[in-house]
Amino acid sequence: MSDECIRLEFKVDSENFASAGSASEAVKTQLKLLGINSHDVRRVAIAMYEGEINMVIHAKGGTAVVEIYQNRVDITLADRGPGIADIDLAMKEGYSTAPDNIRELGFGAGMGLPNMKKNTDEMRIVSNPGVGTTIYMKVNLT
């Protein structure tokens, strides 16, 4: 049926930087196995990695749920981090609050959220300061 889906769930850990990105890699592998075209796979991989790494860096981890449908992929990233006070500002290219020790690793260009927006067909951020952030993304499969 058209609303059947493959559902993948991941706990995104903030402790181990070495494994950061592993949820995105697992999703990419799964999509390739399903024979999804490489352009669509790349869009999902970029959007999900940026969201995953943001949870690691800015929110001490969280959870990722990925649902793969016939014609789209839904990604839900939820954390109980500090939240985003001004979402419009956070979405601006170049805006980043990443501290120096994180910038030294190559993060902090302020391009993650814009990349997520660019590589998805729908994106919605729900965030409450002090409570956490949930980001919904949808990528249509072509």
Partner 1 sequence: MDINKLTELLSAEVKNLGENKKVETGYCGDFLSFAMSRAPSQSAWFTVMSNVNVAAVSLLADVSVIVLCENVIPDDALLNRCVSEGLSVICTKYSAYEAAGMLFVAMKNEEKYCLPER
Tokens for 106, please give them.
């190559």
- Tell which positions 51-70 bind ligand ATP, by CB under 6 A: 54-55, 57-59
Neighbours of 97 (CB within 10 A): 13
Size of residue set near Mg ion by CB under 5 A: 2
Percentages of the chain per state (helix, strand, coil), in multiples of 5 = 35, 25, 35
Binding Mg ion by CB under 5 A: which of 62, 81, 112, 132? 112
- What is the rounded distance in angstroms from the CA atom of residue 141 to the CA atom of residue 82? 33
Q: Which residues pair with 138 in a beta bridge?
A: 74, 122
One symbol per residue from 64 to 103: x for binding partner 1 (CB under 8 A), - otherwise; what is it?
----------------------------------------
Considering only 16, 19, 37, 97, the residue that binds ligand ATP (CB under 6 A) is 97
Angstrom CA distances, 9 to 42, 62, 99, stand at 19, 11, 29
Q: Going edge to edge, which strands form the sheet with 6-12?
A: 6-12, 62-68, 72-79, 132-140, 122-128
* Cβ closest to ligand ATP, residue 23 vs residue 36: 23
How many residues contact partner 1, by CB under 8 A? 25
Told to check if 136 binds ligand ATP by CB under 6 A, we report no
Q: Residues in the site for ligand ATP, rule: CB under 6 A? A: 50, 54-55, 57-59, 79, 81-84, 90, 95-98, 107-113, 133
Please give the residue ranges that form the binding site for partner 1 (CB under 8 A): 17-18, 20-22, 24-25, 28, 38, 42, 45-46, 49-50, 53, 105-109, 111-112, 115, 118-119
